[in-house]
Structure 1
Amino acid sequence: MPEKLTTPTSLITQYVKHLKCLYFRLQQRGMMMKRAIIVSVLEQIEKNLEERIDIEKLVVITGYSRRSLQDFFKEKCGVSIGKYIRQRKLSRSATLLKLTSQSVTDIAFRMGFDSVQSYSREFKKTFGVNPNNYRKADFWDLRNLRPPYWLDCDEHYQFEICQLTSKEIFGFQTSHQIATNDLPKKASPIKWKIIHETLRTWGENVYCLSSFKPDNTKDQVIAVSSFFGMEHNSVDGGKIPMSRVIKCGKYAKFHFVGHKEQYQQFSNTIYMCILPKLNLIRREGEDIEYFHLASVQKQQNNESIVDLYYYIPVL
């Protein structure tokens, strides 16, 4: 049988196909490099948020020109590097105002502003009120906060607005302090352990009521109090002496199922990404988590999980 000859046309077709494939691979590699560069820049910004962040230092770290770096950054984050830094600084300062007793003056200088006046001016441009009024408000409007880069703001959770009635629960309380040097914090791994141990010990669904408030003795820490409880007032025939009341009112209700690492970021995602998107404003009150007993028997990829409803008091 005669050997099939390769025509010039077919050679050209193959060559063009090869070039297209090569171009696509180079394009993908370029996108991956850009992404790695931007993540590196975001990490540096987050690590040095309470310092004077020099854009020239970021240029040296990445090896790209100032112009190229600005273009890459704006393409990924939607704003210039300078504006992003300002948004993150103001967002952290807003959290410090609501959750610590640190003075406005100390917060202004801590976040690298030249004066209280310049800080107050920038704060009002972003949040619509001055720092003092933001702190005094008996609600928390989380709109205009810029989340840290490591939060997944494209995450979606089952959501509804509901009204809760008052309910007494019985259990025990834990308290601890959170340092404010790298807010927002991920949920404590100790809490994860307490949740699973309590579910197994009680053999019932478990509530957790949590509050985050300024500490009265230290101005740079947050006082965290959690009450773990159930609807019955006895365990193994013994009465539980401590009780708390779940307050009635309007709540945003979210459903979550996931493993430890996902849970540690869950509340931050709700507060910094989901509530602002939904235009919901947090009112005073405790966060309520309702953990399902059945989740202690479940696993995802050989990892323990929790299945819970999360209630946040809203206006």
Structure 2
Amino acid sequence: MQQVICKYILKWVEDNLTSDLNVSDMAVSTGYSRRTLEIWFSEQYGMSPGKYLNRRRMTRAAVLLKLTRLPITEIAMLLHHSSNQNFARAFRHFSGVTPTNYRNSNEWDLSGLQASFFYAKEISFNVTTCTLPEQYITGVSYSCADSYLYNTNNLLTDYIQKEVIRLIKSGTTNIYLIGETILPQNIKESRVGQLVATVTVGTLVNVSSEDTAIMTSGKFCRYSFSCKWEEYY
């Protein structure tokens, strides 16, 4: 029963990231005391449900700051903070910087964000770094408006799967993928919760042309992993 309840808590948190409900409301929905839930959840995940809920909400705020043009005031209201100042204090406590500085930073450090335990997959891989020259990929490109939040019905994943399978069946052994996302251009587009994403799946060629996608030179992280298609997102 403990495992079932902990899984329920994880789902409840994801469903209530932008609601004004709190851990007491969650406890009522389970029929168990808040103390019991805290003990069970802490044993399983190393933190209380309240801390996990707050970290997930602050992570949502971080994503909205980086991937949308929503005003900080609107993000604060979306997460039910009583004022801009209240939200700024909470976010600075979480990230170490103000919402404005976080949004304007040229780098995005993901290490402090709280990934969802509900969607977590146990995939082991070793990360190394490598330096690659500029390379050119020829293949089929696909563009669509896709959610910047996790979505099991991911249009890009569906496209990548179909194109990779097609290339494998045609005898292609080395398949390359390059992707690019474009941030929403205005507040209206930001409220829809989508980015414009373009992906090219194909093979390497030696010469650039109008039909090739360019992978710029630079330092990259490199890793290998294997998983089922339903685990790839």
TM-score band (shorter)?
0.7 to 0.9
Map residues 145-156 of structure 1 onto 2, 5 A cutoff. 145-152=113-120, 155-156=123-124
Partner of 1:184: 150
Alpha-carbon distance, 1:191 to partner: 2.5
Q: Which moved more, 1:188-197 or 1:133-142?
A: 188-197
1:91 shift after superposition:
0.5
Query: What is aligned with 1:89?
Result: 57
* Alpha-carbon displacement from aligned partner over 1:132-181 (angstroms, at most 9, x marks no partner): 2212222110111111122436532132111111112222321111235x
> Structure 1 unaligned runs (5+)?
1-32, 235-239, 265-315
Map 1:25-174 → 2, pairs under 5 A: 33-152=1-120, 155-174=123-142
Deviation larger for 199-208 or 99-108: 199-208
Q: Is the 8 A contact 2:123 2:227 kept in 1?
A: no
Change (3 A) 1:229 1:191: closer
Unaligned segments of structure 2, at least 5 residues: none
The offset of 1:56, in angstroms, is: 2.7
DSSP 3-state at the match of 1:244: strand
CA distance in 2, matches of 1:155, 1:36: 22
Q: Could you tell me which amino acid in structure 2 is paired with residue 185 of structure 1?
A: N
Q: Do residues 226 (structure 1) and 194 (structure 2) align?
A: no
The answer to whether the 8 A contact 2:10-2:118 is kept is no
Higher relative contact order (CA 8 A, sep 6+): 2
Tell which structure's C-alpha radius of gyration is larger.
1
SS of residue paired to 1:149: coil
Conservation of the 8 A alpha-carbon contact between 1:171 and 1:227: yes
Structure-1 residue corresponding to 2:176: 207
What is the percent sequence identity of the aligned residues? 28
| In 2: Cα distance, 1:45 partner to 1:59 partner | 12
C-alpha separation in 2, matches of 1:257 and 1:224: 24
Distance verdict in 2 for CA 1:75–1:258, change over 3 Å: closer
CA distance in 2, matches of 1:143, 1:228: 29
Q: Distance in 1 between matches of 2:182 and 2:85?
A: 26
With structure 2 as the length reference, what TM-score do the two structures score? 0.86
Corresponding residue SS for 2:196: strand
1:213 to partner: Cα distance? 3.2
Secondary structure in 2 matching 1:42: helix
SS in 2 for 1:219: helix
Aligned residue type for 2:198 = S
Q: What is the TM-score when the length of structure 1 is the normalising length?
A: 0.65
Which of 251, 261, 265 pairs up with 2:220? 251
Shift of 1:48: 1.3
Q: Helix, strand or coil: the match of 2:111? A: coil
Partner SS for 2:176: strand
State the secondary structure of the residue aligned to 1:158. Answer: coil
Following TM superposition, where does structure 1 have runs of at least 4 consecutive aligned residues deviating by more than 4 angstroms?
none
Cα distance in 2, alignment partners of residues 57 and 176 from structure 1:
38
1:99–1:213: 8 Å Cα contact kept in structure 2? no
The structure-2 alpha-carbon separation of the partners of 1:228 and 1:123, relative to structure 1 and needing over 3 Å to count, comes to: same
Distance 1:80 1:204, change over 3 A: closer
* Partner amino acid, structure 2, of 1:66: R
Distance 1:225 1:76 in 2: 39
